[in-house]
Amino acid sequence: QAFLKSNPLLVQGPTPPVMAATSAFKRFVPLGNRILVQKLKAEAKTASGIFLPDAAKQEINQATVLAVGPGKKTQAGDVIPVATSPGDLVVIPKYGGTEVTLDDEEYHVYRDEDIIGVLKPE
């Protein structure tokens, strides 16, 4: 808990992708208006208990924001902050972004303007 409070980039809570990525935050901080996300994984099993082969899984275009950069700098030197925050569930484009592998985990980096939207909890 003390480590989480001392590191503003970490998100507190039970969300597995965020907690699994803690060591990646020590080495990777997005620059400018970039956002580090971890894509949600497709379900391996149906509601009725049938296991799906990899070919049958549909790619999910949602991700959890793990870290954000400070924002985009204008010509006047002002910083426009990014629109998302760590812990947000976002909709990402099917193509684009940069794949980053840290500690054998796959992450993606997108620019703030490439994020399609934020999914708010109900």
**Total structural domains in the chain?**
1
Domain range holding 78?
2-117
User: Is the residue at 37 inside a domain?
Assistant: yes
Q: What is the CATH number of the domain that holds 113?
A: 2.30.33.40
Q: What is the mean pLDDT of residues 40-55?
A: 67
User: Is the residue at 75 inside a domain?
Assistant: yes
Sign of CA dihedral 88, 35, 4, 106: positive
Determine how β-strand 98-102 pairs with β-strand 79-80. unpaired
User: Is the residue at 122 inside a domain?
Assistant: no
Q: Is the pTM of this model over 0.85?
A: no
pLDDT > 90 in the chain, percent = 45
Q: How far is CA 103 from CA 20, 26, 27, 47, 107, in A?
A: 10, 11, 10, 31, 10
Residues 13 and 114: their CA atoms lie apart, in Å, by 26
